């Protein structure tokens, strides 16, 4: 009646994600490395040995969802403050990496220049999901810089990839002006589509007035942004990222508590499963990539992969230890001097250039044939080299990153915790200031007002002592309305602090989750429409 192979693979991958993630958390092991190793082990099972990962699955399903959640939880304030570094890393470092890899592949491995640049474009971008999973030990600013770079640099790499593939397959000749035009369209179109989709998503949410429908819009948003951008030959990746960043700023003003709680729960589960499945699928494809290798011996291909991995890592190390000094020489403003990162603390940034899903998808998307019907030169070798670079950066750099972090001697970064306490203190104080006016409007007796004031003052005292507020108890309807009005005051103050860049998006998310929980306790899980 039906072939259960697909469902078998789905269940096996899901079990691997859940089981290995649990092992990683219980033992403190590197989760992505463990999941990738689990994927390699799964590839020897009869049910999964013939599984092939279509590049469309990575690009059209995994990438939009994962990038969208990363963008929603990435600090716009931090990106703005380090915008120059982001542009240098996400554009010029990608170009430099592609060029150095292409040079090594041409001079040492013997690939033609177009094919060598295809390989360079494939392994040039870092991967946002790997960075988020592996580099969590970095301080807030450095981790945000890495996440932002990984979110944006795919657009640059994929433009280079498209041009190099077109030249390698004989579809067109290399045109520098055409490449610049493609880059401009990729970035400009991606940004425009992202902003438009964010605006449309907000409008749709305001019309819906139903948490399920609103979150249906939330799920469709990244895929719609990616699709529309790709249709005009712009960067779908950048469209998703910009859309997520815009919504991270504007969403808290339009999304209600029930919708937000439901959305966060969904995206946390969905991205956990997709992210884990992606690492398992990378390991699952390694065996088939090795078996498909015919143009080179496995030993020589492994040496070529190690060479390219060394070039990728070396380029990033050289960049991180030369370009900052050039920038310092040009820009000597006192404000910039205070933001300089010492060489010892730049090393973890240089060592965190992990490759992952985008590189794998690009390698698998290399066409099988050229325009004259011949096979794409060394396609099987390029795929094996890409796997090698992913494994070296993920396993080699991922496992040694803790030692590199210790070498960096970072001071304890408690900025987020300090901002959380600041935000909680400010919003409670704003509610206390508004309490007399709101109580008069609700015409409540003084005993109720005194009880609420005592409760909020106790909360303020607990904030100073860094303990949790006691659970709220059920109240009458009028008192509930007063409670909800005070929560609105607290939310408004929190959003003003975000708008004035007093607190970061991570702070807003965490404090807002507490406010949402308060609202759901007050209303019994049924907030008024």
Give yes or no: residues 426 and 362 share one domain: no
User: Of 374, 393, 408, which residue constitutes the final position of a domain?
Assistant: 408
What integer pLDDT is reported at residue 528 of this predicted model? 37
Identify whether residues 219 and 299 lie together within a single domain: yes
Burial 93-122 (b: 16+ CB within 10 A, else e): bbbbbbbbbbebbbeebebeebbbbbbbbb
Res 100: pLDDT: 97
CB-count burial class (<10 Å; 0-12, 13-18, 19+) for 466: exposed
Domain match, 352 and 432 both = no
pLDDT value for 211? 87
Quote the domain boundaries for residue 440: 415-523
The angle at the Cα of 79, spanning 76 to 84, to the nearest 5 degrees, equals: 150
Q: Write down which residue in 371, 390, 408 finishes a domain.
A: 408
Is 289 within the bounds of a domain?
Answer: yes
Which of 389, 408, 427 terminates a domain? The answer is 408
Alpha helices in 409-476 (DSSP H): 415-442, 446-464
Nearest one of 173, 155, 175 to 59, comparing CA atoms? 155
State how far the Cα of 205 lies from the Cα of 238, in Å rounded to an integer: 23
Tokens of 101: 């890899």
Clarify whether residues 335 and 462 are in a common domain: no
Phi then psi dihedrals of residue 370, to 5 deg: -95, 180
What residues in the chain have per-residue pLDDT under 70?
1-3, 335, 465-477, 524-529
Whether 122 and 101 map to the same domain: the answer is: yes
Tell me the torsion sign for CA atoms 125, 398, 392, 318.
positive
Q: Read off the pLDDT of residues 173-228 as tens digits, 9 standing for 90 and up.
A: 777 777 788 888 888 999 999 999 999 999 998 888 888 999 999 999 999 999 99
Instruction: Give yes or no: residues 427 and 397 share one domain.
Output: no
How high is the pLDDT of residue 524? 59
Instruction: Give the pLDDT of residue 465.
Output: 64
Do 403 and 424 lie in a common domain?
A: no
CATH (domain of 154): 1.20.1530.20
In the prediction, which pLDDT does 2 show?
63
Cβ atoms 208, 256 nearer than 8 A: no
> Looking at the domain assignment, is residue 22 inside a domain?
no
* Same domain assignment for residues 449 and 380: no
The model's pLDDT over 432-483, given as tens digits with 9 standing for 90+, comes to 888 888 888 887 787 888 888 888 888 787 777 654 434 444 445 677 788 8
**Do 209 and 154 share a structural domain?**
yes
pTM above 0.75, yes or no: yes
How many domains does the chain fold into?
2
Sequence-separated contacts (24+) of 203-209 with Cβ below 8 Å: 205/254, 205/255, 205/259, 206/254, 209/529
């Amino acid at each position: 009646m039906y072939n259960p192979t697909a469902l078998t693979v789905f269940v096996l991958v899901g079990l691997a994600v859940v089981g290995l993630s649990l092992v990683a958390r219980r033992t403190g092991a590197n989760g992505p490395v463990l999941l990738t190793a689990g994927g390699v082990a799964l590839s020897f099972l009869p049910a999964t040995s013939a599984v092939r990962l279509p590049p469309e699955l990575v690009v059209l399903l995994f990438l939009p969802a994962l990038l969208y959640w990363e963008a929603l939880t990435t600090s716009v304030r931090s990106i703005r403050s380090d915008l120059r570094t982001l542009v240098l890393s996400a554009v010029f470092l990608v170009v430099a990496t592609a060029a150095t890899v292409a040079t090594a592949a041409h001079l040492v491995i013997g690939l033609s220049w177009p094919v060598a640049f295809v390989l360079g474009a494939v392994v040039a971008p870092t991967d946002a999901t790997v960075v988020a999973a592996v580099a969590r030990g970095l301080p807030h600013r450095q981790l945000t810089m890495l996440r932002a770079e990984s979110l944006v640099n795919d657009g640059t790499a994929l433009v280079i990839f498209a041009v190099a593939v077109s030249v390698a397959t004989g579809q067109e000749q290399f045109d520098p002006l055409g490449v610049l035009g493609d880059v401009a369209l990729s970035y400009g179109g991606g940004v425009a589509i992202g902003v438009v989709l964010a605006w449309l998503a907000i409008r749709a949410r305001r019309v819906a007035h139903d948490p399920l429908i609103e979150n249906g819009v939330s799920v469709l948003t990244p895929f719609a942004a990616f699709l529309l951008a790709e249709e005009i030959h712009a960067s779908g990746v950048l469209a998703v990222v910009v859309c997520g960043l815009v919504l991270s700023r504007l969403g808290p003003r339009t999304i209600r508590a029930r919708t937000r709680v439901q959305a966060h729960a969904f995206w946390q589960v969905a991205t956990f499963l997709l992210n884990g499945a992606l690492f398992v699928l990378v390991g699952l494809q390694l065996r088939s990539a090795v078996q498909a290798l015919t143009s080179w011996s496995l030993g020589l291909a492994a040496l070529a992969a190690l060479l390219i991995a060394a070039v990728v890592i070396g380029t990033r190390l050289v960049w991180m230890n030369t370009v900052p000094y050039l920038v310092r020489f040009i820009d000597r403003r006192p404000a910039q001097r205070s933001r300089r990162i010492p060489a010892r603390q730049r090393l973890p940034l240089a060592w965190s250039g992990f490759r992952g899903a985008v590189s794998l998808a690009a390698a698998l998307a290399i066409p099988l044939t050229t325009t004259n019907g011949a096979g794409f030169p060394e396609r099987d070798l390029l795929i094996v080299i890409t796997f090698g670079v992913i494994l070296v950066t993920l396993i080699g750099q991922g496992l040694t990153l803790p030692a590199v972090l210790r070498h960096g001697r970072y001071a304890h970064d408690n900025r987020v915790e300090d901002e959380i306490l600041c935000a909680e203190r400010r919003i409670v104080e704003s509610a206390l200031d508004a309490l007399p006016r709101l109580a008069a409007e609700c015409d409540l007796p003084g005993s109720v007002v005194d009880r609420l004031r005592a409760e909020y003052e106790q909360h303020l005292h607990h904030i100073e002592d860094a303990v949790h507020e006691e659970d709220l108890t059920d109240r009458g309807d009028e008192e509930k309305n007063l409670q909800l009005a005070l929560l609105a005051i607290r939310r408004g103050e929190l959003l003003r602090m975000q708008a004035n860049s007093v607190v970061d998006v991570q702070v807003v998310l965490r404090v807002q989750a507490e406010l949402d929980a308060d609202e759901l306790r007050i209303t019994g899980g049924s907030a008024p429409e």
